[in-house]
Structure 1
Amino acid sequence: MFFVIAAKKYPLYPVSMKKRMEFYFYQGMVALDVTGPLDVFNAADEILSRNGKEQEGYELTFSANTPGPIPTSSGLCFHADVCPGLEKADTLLVPGGMIAETASTDSDNIKAIQMAARKAKRIVSVCSGAFLLASAGILDDRRATTHWMVADRLAALYPNVHMEPDSIYVQDGTISTSAGVTAGIDLALALVEEDYGPSLAIEVARLLLLYRRRPGNQSQFSTTLAMQTKVGERFKPLVDWIETHLDQKLTVDLLAEKAHMSSRTFARIFPSETGMSPGRFIEQLRIDRARELLESGAEGLEQVARESGFGREERLRRAFQRRLGISPTQYRAHFIQGEHHDHRSYLRDTHL
């Protein structure tokens, strides 16, 4: 009894406070869904260690139903060391892949995830890994997101999940989900900030030459591709025409005329085939054009607003805030910082 009390007050060895991150592996997962977040947590661990905080950071573990080599969708093999849920984890992370929906019907996968989830403080999925969490019942009555290509499919299969298909990532209490592949890096940075504060998240992002992190409610950059996929052959010529006339006044009557339909028929059929009204569709195309202009270094926001079809800077700003969660100025700053940041001075500052 005396020894136990003394050990608590005067430990002979430093007590590790590292957060245990358990990555659950299954055959056919996407390698980047693992390596993206993995390198974020590893970089945070290295920076903390260099700053004299060796006992903080992350302990990275890899589990699978059958430990050993686990092939990814690209053929690259990862090695799982343990069975899932053997120890308590601060975070359980489930990657995605084209095979994720099929993997979510495997009872062994679901039992393993449920077992590990019961011992985890935080549960995370990357990309279509949300299928496995949903199948395990973890996303019931939760807000969630996934890759835009499979968001509708997940929503149809699991109506109790409150899908937010436009978001980069969604955090609902202790459950977090992210959009496609690289969005898992954004979510991992958000988790580092949650664990150790914004300063470390910034250091990690700078070390890995990333944005600090994109806001979770920022629209997925692939939204336009998703829209164009939904449009199909019927409206493809119209969309091609719209993209070259975004700076014009685009009314429903004009669009219907170009589509060789009556205004009433067009207003009914276009939303049913694209999933959004003509106005919302055009706004998204204009946002994408404005992003291209900002990324290419366009200086004046008034000019960007005119060329993208918003007309005025105020309309451009409101659309960015509503759809991306940031202002045009903040969006442009991401790219300016990425282009002009002197990584050599950062390496000197961190003694790498």
Structure 2
Amino acid sequence: MGFSTVAVLMFDRIPLFEASVPIAVFGERRDDRPEFDVRVIAAEGGPVRTDAGITLAAPYGLDAVEGADLVIVPTWRRPSAGDPPPEEALEALRRAHARGSTVVSLCLGTFVLAASGLLDGRPATTHWRYAGLLASMHPRVEVRPDVLYVDEGDILTSAGSTGGIDLCLHLVRRSHGAQAANSIARGLVTPPHRAGGQAQYIDHPVPAPAAGDPFGDTLDWALRRLDRELTVDDLAARALMSRRTFDRRFRQATGTTPAQWLLHQRVLHAQRLLETTAEPVELVARKSGFASAVALRPHFRRQVGVSPTAYRETFGTGGADGAGPGTARARRTA
């Protein structure tokens, strides 16, 4: 599932921000990040007009999809207008998928993948505001309106603008390791990883730990104690709330439960240790809050897609310099 050449298909009258997401994630070159060959394609020929009135001169035509191992449709013009995507672009997507390329849509780009037939019989998501329209226009697609992204291995779809960033970072993480994804996320000043199953329409992202904020301070306190036994009751007590109030406020803020968040953070910590240390998996498990490697393994496999040992073989360096490029198996996010 590794990739190095990224084709980004731009259509006329598209939203500007969503169009820029894959370029922002994959386009910047720095020594601490993988280098990608990004090909921005005018999928309908000629300059690309955006909905902001800005015209873009994409340097490539549809023939540049050939040879790309990752093909992204970052967005589409408002689907309620009823314009069908051009058949030439749909055929280019079908050919890319048939030869083994990973095909991705962000936000409204899911309408293009659905029109190509590639999503028939598969789960997929898009912006929650357009999920009903997607389901009515393409009844063979299993629309999931309440997740950030869906990873089906060779085809991935995401929700709205920030969901597209999450999915692109997830692609980097699964193919090039957590260190590479974290480096890109730091440059974008965005969380390095949000699970695909997290709810789309949440009031706020997970609060950043901040002094004086009982909620954020509690999360910071927990993150510094992942090697210890922690319960939701412990978190609630730290936040000076009842268990019921803490559960309710946490779910409102994050779209997930405190227990799910804590488990997710433990697995992320195990990933970092596997990448940057040579410590035995048994010790990594205990330092991440699991009783043993046996206890870590099913949760790690469910979240990352491979066993801890296989992950280390791909991304581990045994030192603090971070992980090198490698290939990890796809993880399904439902």
- Normalised to the residue count of structure 2, the TM-score between the two structures is 0.62
Amino acid aligned to 1:99: R
Q: Which has the higher contact order (CA 8 A, sep 6+)?
A: 2
Partner of 2:256: 324
Partner of 1:89: 68
Structure 2 alignment gaps of length 5 or more: 219-234, 266-320, 322-334
Matched, 1:41 2:26: yes
Alignment of 1:93-132 (within 5 A): 93-100=72-79, 102-119=82-99, 121-132=101-112
Distance 1:19 1:63, change over 3 A: same
Rounded to whole Å, the distance in 1 between the matches of 2:52 and 2:62 is 23
Partner of 1:209: 189
Amino acid aligned to 2:49: P
Distance 1:84 1:165, change over 3 A: same
Which of 172, 176, 191 is the equivalent residue of 2:171? 191
Q: Which has the larger radius of gyration?
A: 1
SS at match of 1:213: coil
RMSD: 3.8
Superposed CA deviations along residues 76-121 of structure 1, whole A, max 9, x for unmatched, are 2222223224422111101224424634354344334334444451
CA shift at 1:63, angstroms? Answer: 1.8
Superposed CA deviations along residues 131-189 of structure 1, whole A, max 9, x for unmatched, are 11001001011111000000011112222211111111111121000101121111110
Distance 1:83 1:291, change over 3 A: closer
Distance 1:208 1:117, change over 3 A: same
Distance 1:306 1:148, change over 3 A: farther
SS at match of 1:68: coil
Which of 306, 311, 334 is the equivalent residue of 2:244? 311
- Assess if the C-alpha contact under 8 Å between 2:206 and 2:254 holds in 1: no
Superposed CA deviations along residues 242-301 of structure 1, whole A, max 9, x for unmatched, are xxxxxxxxxxxxxxxxxxxxxxxxxxxxxxxxxxxxxxxxxxxxxx59978999923465
Partner of 1:134: 114
Rounded to whole Å, the distance in 2 between the matches of 1:124 and 1:327 is 31
Rounded to whole Å, the distance in 2 between the matches of 1:325 and 1:120 is 37
CA shift at 1:325, angstroms? Answer: 6.5
Structure 1 alignment gaps of length 5 or more: 1-16, 223-287, 334-348
Distance 1:127 1:177, change over 3 A: same
Partner of 1:24: 9
Distance 1:18 1:312, change over 3 A: closer
Rounded to whole Å, the distance in 2 between the matches of 1:41 and 1:202 is 13
Matched, 1:143 2:136: no
- Assess if the C-alpha contact under 8 Å between 2:106 and 2:126 holds in 1: yes
- Assess if the C-alpha contact under 8 Å between 2:21 and 2:74 holds in 1: no
Amino acid aligned to 2:52: S
CA shift at 1:26, angstroms? Answer: 0.9
Rounded to whole Å, the distance in 2 between the matches of 1:290 and 1:135 is 32
Partner of 1:72: 50
Amino acid aligned to 1:29: I
- Assess if the C-alpha contact under 8 Å between 1:217 and 1:325 holds in 2: no
Matched, 1:63 2:41: yes
CA shift at 1:32, angstroms? Answer: 1.6
Deviates more, 1:107-116 or 1:156-165: 107-116
- Assess if the C-alpha contact under 8 Å between 2:236 and 2:243 holds in 1: no
Distance 1:210 1:314, change over 3 A: closer
SS at match of 2:111: helix
Alignment of 1:261-340 (within 5 A): 288=203, 297-299=213-215, 302=236, 311-313=244-246, 323-324=255-256, 327=259
Rounded to whole Å, the distance in 2 between the matches of 1:97 and 1:109 is 12
Identity level (%)? 28
Bigger share in helix: 1
- Assess if the C-alpha contact under 8 Å between 1:130 and 1:145 holds in 2: yes
Superposed CA deviations along residues 217-252 of structure 1, whole A, max 9, x for unmatched, are 110135xxxxxxxxxxxxxxxxxxxxxxxxxxxxxx
Amino acid aligned to 1:36: V
Rounded to whole Å, the distance in 2 between the matches of 1:204 and 1:290 is 19
How many residue pairs get aligned? The number is 244
Rounded to whole Å, the distance in 2 between the matches of 1:80 and 1:31 is 13
